[in-house]
Amino acid sequence: MKDVYLILKNLTRKPLRLFLTVFATFIAFMIFGTLTAFQQAFDAGVDLAADDRLVVVNKINFTQTLPIAYVNRVRAVEDVVAVTHLNWFGGYYQEPRAQFAMFAVDAENFLTVYDELVITDAERAAWIANRQGLIAGKSIAESFGWQAGERIPVNSNIFSQRDGRTDWDFDVVAIYEGADPQTDTNSVYFHYEYFNETQSFGGDFIGFMGVRTTDPERNEAVIAAIDDLFANSPAETETVPEKAFNKAFIEQIGNLSLILTSVVLAAFFVILVIVGNSMILSIRERTREIGVMKTLGFTSGRIFRMVLVESLLIALIGGMLGVAAAGLMVSLVNQAPIQLPVLVLGGSVWTQALLYVAVLGFITGIVPAMNALRLNIITALSRS
């Protein structure tokens, strides 16, 4: 108990230095918490991808189209539960800069394949019945201020109607939510029939297909069966698990994980050096005092433990405050009206942070603690 008192006295003997080292630690952990939340949000597309879902795209590239006749042929493949098809619409709302992800889909099967998008059965029935209806994700609806029941115009930067107009009228039938807090709700889906009948591009083509299989174990067989069906046709297909597709897609932007990890590492390294140095310094200043404590009968082990606990405490206070501040940052970013994935600062970040607190506290404390442990009473007391 007496040790706790001594440790606290030691910690607060130079309040300014304590504040500065804790502050430096705080900054490092705030950067860690915020960037990890970003990284997890970017990875969510891969982590949340359904294992029993495949994506069928044109083998040349996923922006090349496929004939709509393919859909029924894939539906007949063994172990396929449901198939839907999607066309990128290139939608924007009111001004060309306000682009968002909008797809023309086959509404009947769409929500069976993508069951993480949640709307009520009544809303689903209403959507299927309304040819001009669309369903919008919660996040995108909030950023444009759309309400269910509203009628809105949406423009396409790719397609035009037969009369040359590039805007289409839609009824917002429902706002869907994600089954998981990190499910992407920045997309909008509407009827393929409405798209196919009104656009002037020449019809009956689709962008890609989403396929649900009976069991992830059967994926490989289904992939082979689908790609065999269309081998040597003018539009060969390439079928991949959704996880792999999403991973390749996000990697097109660049190696975000590498960038974020490097930055976090750099921040930790800087703080390690700063805090480590200040710990060494503050123990060196106490050389005489430690000599006196040893003379009074404090064992070397006890002093060693006290120094280590001191550096662990600095890391713990700074680290926990830093992650808490990161939580605040994350909620600020989530409220900002920008199309970003939902950031979540979950338990895994706190656990990781605790681990880093322990590592940081140990590394910055071990050298001064060893010095204190080895300190010879005579040398300590003779040093002025």
How far apart are CB 86 and another protein at their closest, in Å? 16
How far apart are CB 288 and another protein at their closest, in Å? 10
C-beta separation of 154 from 93 below 8 A:
yes
How far apart are CB 280 and another protein at their closest, in Å? 7
List contacts with another protein (CB under 8 A): 16-17, 20-21, 23-24, 27-28, 30-31, 58-61, 63-64, 90, 92, 96, 99, 155, 157-158, 160, 164, 166, 201, 232-236, 247-248, 251-255, 263, 266-267, 269-271, 273-274, 276-278, 280-281, 285, 384
Q: Which is nearer to another protein, 121 or 163 (CB)?
A: 163
The residue among 298, 304, 229, 275 whose CA lies nearest residue 71 is 229
Start-end of H helices in the chain: 2-11, 15-47, 70-75, 107-113, 121-129, 138-144, 192-198, 219-229, 242-251, 256-285, 287-295, 300-335, 347-374, 377-382
C-beta separation of 46 from 246 below 8 A:
yes
How far apart are CB 73 and another protein at their closest, in Å? 18
Q: Which is nearer to another protein, 14 or 302 (CB)?
A: 14
Q: Around Cβ 5, how many Cβ atoms within 10 Å? A: 9
Q: Which is nearer to another protein, 210 or 276 (CB)?
A: 276
Tokens of 275: 């805090």
Q: Which is nearer to another protein, 61 or 121 (CB)?
A: 61
Query: Using CA atoms, how far apart are residues 238 and 306, in angstroms rounded to an integer?
Result: 62
Q: Which is nearer to another protein, 4 or 273 (CB)?
A: 273
C-beta separation of 80 from 74 below 8 A:
yes
Q: Which is nearer to another protein, 125 or 273 (CB)?
A: 273
- As a whole number of angstroms, the longest Cα–Cα distance in the chain is 97
How far apart are CB 247 and another protein at their closest, in Å? 7
How far apart are CB 322 and another protein at their closest, in Å? 10
Q: Which is nearer to another protein, 123 or 184 (CB)?
A: 184
Query: Using CA atoms, how far apart are residues 213 and 336, in angstroms rounded to an integer?
Result: 38
Kindly give, in sequence order, each residue whose CB lies less than 8 Å from that of residue 192, ignoring residues fewer than 6 positions away: 85, 87, 104, 105, 106, 107, 206
How far apart are CB 185 and another protein at their closest, in Å? 21
Produce one character per residue of 329-362: b if its CB has 16 or more CB atoms within 10 Å, e if not: bbeebbeeeeeebbbbbeeebbeebeebbeebbe
